[in-house]
Amino acid sequence: MGDYLNFSLEGKVALVTGASYGIGYAIASAYAKSGAKIVFCDIKQEFVDKGLDSYKADGIDAKGYVCDVTNEAMVQDMVKKIENEVGVIDILVNNAGIIKRIPMCDMTADEFRQVIDVDLNAPFIVAKAVIPSMIKKGHGKIINICSMMSELGRETVSAYAAAKGGLKMLTRNICSEYGADNIQCNGIGPGYIATPQTAPLREKQADGSRHPFDQFICGRTPAGRWLEAEELTGPAVFLASDASNAVNGHILYVDGGILAYIGKQP
C-alpha cells in the first residue's frame, strides 16, 4: 500500500484544472517540484498559453489543454488525450472555480446555476472521467478545492456556498464509493487567499485606505493576514502522496485558523 513517509510524486501524472495562474498554478508547480508530470487545463486558449509561458519560465515542462470543465464531452475527450499523450492520471485536483458576489434575492436562477455548474457539477464530471482508469491502475488521488464556504455562509455568496458545501459531500461520497479501489478523495479548504478571484475584496479605496473587507478578513483570521497560494502547496503535496494513503474523505482546512476563531473582540 505504499511508504507512509513518502511525500515524493516521482513519475506520477497530475491533472490540475484551471491552473494557468492562482491557486491551481501554485499547486501544479509544487507537484512538478515533487517529481510529477503536470497537465493543466483552462477554458480559454489565451490563458493556456499564458500558463505554459509561466511554467516554462519556472523551468516546468507542463502540458496544457483548452477545456471547459462543465462540458462532459470536452472533459472525456481531454482525459483520453492525456492518457494517450502523457499517461494515466494518478492525481486529479479539481481547482477550476468561479464566484458571483450578488445578494441572493438579486441573483437570477441562471447565475446561480452557472456557479453550481463550474464549482460542483464540473468536479463530478472530471472525477467521473478519471476514476475508471484509476481503478484499473490500482490507485488514485482526487483533491477537491473546497472553501471556508464549505462550512460558513456570508452575504452575497449563496450559490458559491451551496456549491462548495456540496463539493465537501461529493468528496466524502467519492471516498465512500471508491475507497475500496484504493482511491483517496480529500478536499483542501483554503482560507482567504490573495489571488485574482479575491482581488476585488482587497482593492484600496479612493482615499487610499484599506478595503473594509480586507480589514474584516484580517480581523477574522488568527494569523491576522491574507494567505498566499503557495501556503496551500505542502498540504496539497501531502494529499497527493503515499504519505496520506490512510486519509480519505477529509477536508483539510488551510485557513490561518479562521474556523477555530470567533473573531477579534471589540
Active site residues: 160
* Among residues 96, 120, 237, 239, the one that binds ligand NAP under rule CB under 6 A: 96
Q: Lay out the site mask for ligand NAP across 182-201 (x = CB under 6 A, - = otherwise).
A: --------x-xx-xxxx---
Q: How many C-beta atoms lie closer than 10 Å to residue 158's C-beta?
A: 19
Binder of residue 154, out of ligand NAP, ligand GCO, none (CB less than 5 to 8 A by kind): ligand GCO
In this complex, which beta carbon is closest to ligand NAP, that of residue 45 or of residue 108?
45
Binder of residue 123, out of ligand GCO, ligand NAP, none (CB less than 5 to 8 A by kind): none
Across 242-253, b (16+ Cβ under 10 Å) vs e yields: bbbbeebbbbbb
Q: How many C-beta atoms lie closer than 10 Å to residue 164's C-beta?
A: 26
- Residues 14, 227, 19: CA angle, nearest 5 degrees: 25
Cβ-Cβ contacts under 8 Å for 199 (sequence gap 6 or more): none
Question: What does each C-alpha distance from 120 to 33, 127, 199, 228, 244 come to in angstroms?
Answer: 29, 11, 23, 24, 24
Region of 15-23, 80-88, 102-110, 144-152 interacting with ligand GCO (CB under 6 A): 144-152
Binder of residue 196, out of ligand NAP, ligand GCO, none (CB less than 5 to 8 A by kind): ligand NAP
In this complex, which beta carbon is closest to ligand GCO, that of residue 20 or of residue 150?
150
For residue 148, the minimal CB distance to ligand GCO (Å) is: 3
Dmax (CA) for the chain in angstroms is 59
Strand intervals (E) in the chain: 13-17, 37-42, 63-66, 91-94, 140-145, 183-190, 251-254
> Which residues lie near ligand NAP (CB under 6 A)?
17-18, 20-24, 41-44, 47, 68-70, 95-98, 118, 145, 147, 190, 192-193, 195-198
> Which residues lie near ligand GCO (CB under 6 A)?
99, 101, 147-149, 154, 157, 160, 190-192, 197-198
